[in-house]
Chains A and B, each alone.
Chain A
Amino acid sequence: MTLLRHILAKLGWYAAAFAAALALNFFLPRLLPGNPVDTLIGQALRGHASSETKQRVYETYIAEFGLDQNLWTQFLTYIGKTVQGDFGTSFSRYPADVASMVADALPWTIALQLPAVLLGWLIGNLVGAVAAYRRGGFDRSVYLSSLFLTAAPYYCLAVLLLYGLAVALPLFPAGGGWSFGLKPEWTGLFAVDAVSHWFLPFLSLLLVFIGGQAIGMRSMAVYEVDADYVRFAESFGLADRKIIGYIFRNGMLPQVTGLALAIGTLVGGALLTEIVFSYPGIGTLLYEAILNKDYPVIQAVTLLVLVVVLVANFLVDVLYGLIDPRIRAAERGER
């Protein structure tokens, strides 16, 4: 019951954030000086030689977005279409449907990011807890290398890995989602090929994420290590891994929030990593859309990222309420 109330309250909050995100996504580009709509079309059509194409795209655009109407009506049209999953037609790959372009790219991104986030979170927090408990040299080296991994932007590590392990030392394929000559299909050959392409971008995301989480966990666990309950457990000769487990569990609670806050940065960083590896996911789609001024694609991708980040934050909030007995108690008004 109370958990439900907790979830509903959070839901209301995220609905507000979502409305803000939706409005930002629509109005931001349109509220800037000049006539942004014309600018957009101008940018989009620059470089298209055929006037016939130009005309067709122009008409599609006008019709799709109701550009002859006022801004507010346009916004309502936009929301209506968005809700139906209609993101319009691509400029650069006219007449490709934006929704299906995004749908094609999405599985690649999920396959890359989801394991990296979950595994990186787990490993990073364990490493951080162990470092804080062991102290000394191990702690210092974990801290500095983690700091280095988080300090360098995601794509810098990606650049180094790509050059080091795919070009200078050709152990892995140098980018892309699969080898030239193959077609995405459910065969063993393709699966092996896809995994070999997947590994480097995955590794680069994983390393960065481990670093960030380890730092966060370490700074939490430093306080847990001196806590009375740790000393009490030690006084019974409990095994180190058991005590690290205690520290992990207690330090993890704030780290769950850390996960939520990291998701935004992570998704952004991961998209840039895809660009370095020309990985056929959302990031590369966005990159190409920006180069081609393919506005409907850009808007669909930014909206997707915003929604994913909000949903992820919401889920983490709910999870937090589930795993911390103290929060559950506070919600119930217990003490």
Chain B
Amino acid sequence: MTLASLTNLTAHYDAGEGRFHALDDVGLDVESGRILGVVGESGCGKSTMASVLSLNPAPSLRVTSGTLAVGGKDVDLTDPASHRPLRGGTVALLPQGALNALNPTRRVGALAHDILAAGDRRIKRSESLRRTAARLEALELPPRVLRAYPHQLSGGMRQRVVTALATLRNPRLLVADEPSSALDVSSQRLLVDLLRRLVSDGLVEGIVFITHDVALLSELADRIAVMYAGRVVEEAPARDLVASPRHPYSQALLASVLVPEPGTRGRRLAGIPGSPPDLRAPIAGCLFAPRCEHAMDKCTAERPPRLVTGPRDDSCWRSAESEEAVDAA
């Protein structure tokens, strides 16, 4: 069953005279009880998408179209002013840099009460503390954390506290915006286990996990979407995508990292030549074409269609044409 579906998200930043086209017709589906990974280089628009998905876009971002259907509700993304009541309850954010995400001068319990009171103004403090203590316990944190200031907690505990707070109002969808990027490997490991448990214990119904780390995603995510220059170029079950990426950008991205899969050993690491396009100018064709070794004339002229085959889809003229060939035969 589909928990959340993002359709047709297009957004830009005003950049002086022109516009910076950050997101172009992005669509994603998150299945209930699943983790969707979104991967891409820095600057590909994945953090901007995280801010839109968590219903808290930067004031300078203009969303021109887009709908988020989540838990039976349709949210018009072009009107961020109306989102506030949905934040934290329907969709919650697990932020980047969890170490600094807690107000340094507020006790965890007081912060938790503020968060619960944002959803239910009449909630009593004792009720807030009771619910928070229960959630902390579920994440194996002692109740004394309620009375602690952030600086009194270890890094690992803070990560858990932030996760507990993010899920405190039982959001349907949790948007994790690079929560792992500042962590060491063993802390990443713990975070991955924690997120898996959130889903399996039903604390959240689904997670969108945004990262630049394909290797991490291949372990955590059920499906993976690859973003390039503000577009989703390919989406597939994690295993399929890692084993046989179709879009040339996905192939290049996977070739540039080590994925702990059979056959990785001995493969050579390759960088991607060239650099991402300037998103201030509108581009007609495929955005990856200038860096693509398989580029054809058509690629720079016309935008490739999204081609769905079974559980996966990608947007590349090469796949589209081979499909046509199959159809013709």
Contact = CB atoms under 8 A, between A and B. Distances in A.
Contact of B114 (A135, A233, A324, A325): A233
B87 A326 contact: no
Contacts of B151: 325-326, 329, 334-335
B322 to A, nearest CB: 43
A229 B118 contact: no
A235 B93 contact: yes
A224 to B, nearest CB: 10
Contacts of A235: 54, 56, 87-88, 92-93, 95, 166
Contacts of A250: 103-105
A224 B87 CA distance: 21
B97 interface: yes
Counting contact residues on chain B (CB < 8 A from A), the size range is 35 or more
A253 B105 CA distance: 10
B48 to A, nearest CB: 14
Contact of A228 (B83, B95, B114, B149): B95
B87 A237 contact: yes
A229 to B, nearest CB: 4
A246 interface: yes
A151 interface: no
A324 B59 CA distance: 32
A93 interface: no
B95 A236 contact: no
Nearest to A229: B103
Sorting the interface of chain A by its residue count into under 10, 10 to 19, 20 to 34 or 35 or more gives 20 to 34
A237 B104 contact: no
B162 interface: yes
Contact of B88 (A227, A236, A326): A236
A238 B54 CA distance: 14
A228 B97 contact: yes
Given A238-B114, A335-B151, A246 B86 contact: no
A298 to B, nearest CB: 44
Interface string B96-123: 1101111111100001001100110000
B260 interface: no
A134 to B, nearest CB: 10
Nearest to B103: A229
A31 B11 CA distance: 73
B197 interface: no
A234 interface: yes
Nearest to B169: A236
Interface in B132-185: 149, 151-152, 162, 165-166, 169
14 contacts: A227-B100, A228-B99, A229-B103, A232-B93, A232-B101, A233-B114, A235-B54, A235-B92, A237-B85, A237-B87, A250-B105, A325-B105, A326-B104, A334-B152
Interface of B: 54, 56, 59, 83-89, 92-93, 95-97, 99-106, 111, 114-115, 118-119, 149, 151-152, 162, 165-166, 169
Given A236-B169, A237-B87, A325-B149, 15 more contacts: A135-B59, A228-B97, A228-B100, A229-B104, A232-B102, A233-B111, A235-B56, A235-B92, A236-B114, A236-B118, A242-B114, A325-B104, A325-B151, A329-B152, A334-B151
Interface of A: 135, 227-229, 231-239, 242, 246, 249-250, 253, 324-326, 329, 334-335
